[in-house]
Chain A
Amino acid sequence: SQTIHQWPATLVQPVGSPLSLECTVEGTSNPNLYWYRQAAGRGLQLLFYSVGIGQISSEVPQNLSASRPQDRQFILSSKKLLLSDSGFYLCAWKRAGGRDTQYFGPGTRLTVL
């Protein structure tokens, strides 16, 4: 079976500090990978998605970037955090191609102070 991991689970960072959130998927190959941000516990906003190693599509211009150094690893980064970067960050995976469901990880709660 497939599992998705995210770490850290929670993070408190000062404004202007760098960020690195990691997501890994087990039990599948060549998945589509996604980063979402959820503010105030409601709707999800798609930030980035990737269909393969080194292939990143950005949905929203912002202070963040994403990378996919390995097939089942997806990283969300920032060089300098802003207060507005606070939120709940969710990673998701989907089987490549077709209409298959996206499955979400446990999330990372980021607080920027």
Chain B
Amino acid sequence: EDQVTQSPEALRLQEGESSSLNCSYTVSGLRGLFWYRQDPGKGPEFLFTLYSAGEEKEKERLKATLTKKESFLHITAPKPEDSATYLCAVQIRTSGSRLTFGEGTQLTVNP
């Protein structure tokens, strides 16, 4: 069965304290992996798409990487405005355009 697991469930950081969020997946044929940011009461906001192992994408303080088993979202010197829930989703070759989501990591950055 295809599975997407995110860890940790929640993470508290001090401003400037770098860390990483993990998204591990067990799927039969990865077509793409997506990272989203979601603020409370709002729809997910697209961050990155990764298609193949070894690929990396960066945006401001965020950097996403992909291996054959997992993806990491690295947050460098976070600020309080980076506080949000970060969602990972996978697209599987045999499932058309459907996305399977993880449960998310709730990140809090304290000033």
**CB–CB A103/B41 < 8 A:** no
4 closest Cβ pairs, A-B complex: A104-B43, A43-B103, A44-B101, A43-B101
Would you call A99 and B44 a contact (CB within 8 A)?
A: no
Q: Which residues of A contact B32 (CB under 8 A)?
A: 99
Which chain B residues in 92-106 approach chain A with CB under 8 Å? 97-99, 101-104
Is there an interface contact between B104 and A102, defined as CB atoms closer than 8 Å? Answer: no
Q: A46-B99, A49-B97, A99-B32 are in contact. Are A106 and B104 (CB under 8 A)?
A: no
A95 CB to nearest chain B CB (Å):
10
Cβ contacts B44-55/A at 8 Å (1 or 0 each): 111001010000
Mask: chain B, 15-36; 1 = CB below 8 Å from A; 0 = not: 0000000000000000110101
| Whole-angstrom distance between the Cβ of A104 and the nearest chain B Cβ | 4
Given A41-B40, A99-B51, does the pair A32, B34 have CB atoms closer than 8 Å?
no
Closest partner residue, chain B, to A96 (CB atom): B97
Interface extent on A, as a size class? 20 to 34
- Can you report 20 residue pairs joining A to B where beta carbons are below 8 Å apart? A43-B101, A43-B102, A44-B87, A45-B101, A46-B98, A46-B99, A49-B97, A49-B98, A88-B41, A99-B31, A99-B32, A99-B51, A99-B91, A101-B34, A101-B46, A103-B46, A104-B45, A105-B43, A107-B42, A107-B43
Q: Is B85 an interface residue (CB 8 A)?
A: yes
Asked if B97 and A94 sit within 8 Å, CB to CB, the answer is yes
Most chain-B Cβ atoms within 10 A of its Cβ — which of A32, A44, A88, A107? A44
The answer to whether B43 and A90 touch across the interface, beta carbons within 8 angstroms, is yes
CB distance from B103 to the nearest CB of A (A): 4
Q: In the bound complex, do residue A42 and residue B43 qualify as a contact, i.e. CB atoms below 8 Å apart?
A: no
Complex CA–CA separation, A109 to B34 (angstroms):
24
Task: Across the interface, name the chain A residue whose C-beta is closest to B9.
Answer: A42
Q: What is the CA–CA distance of A44 and B85 in the complex, to the nearest angstrom? A: 12
Contacts of A42 in B (CB 8 A): 85, 103-104
Interface membership of A59, Cβ < 8 A: yes
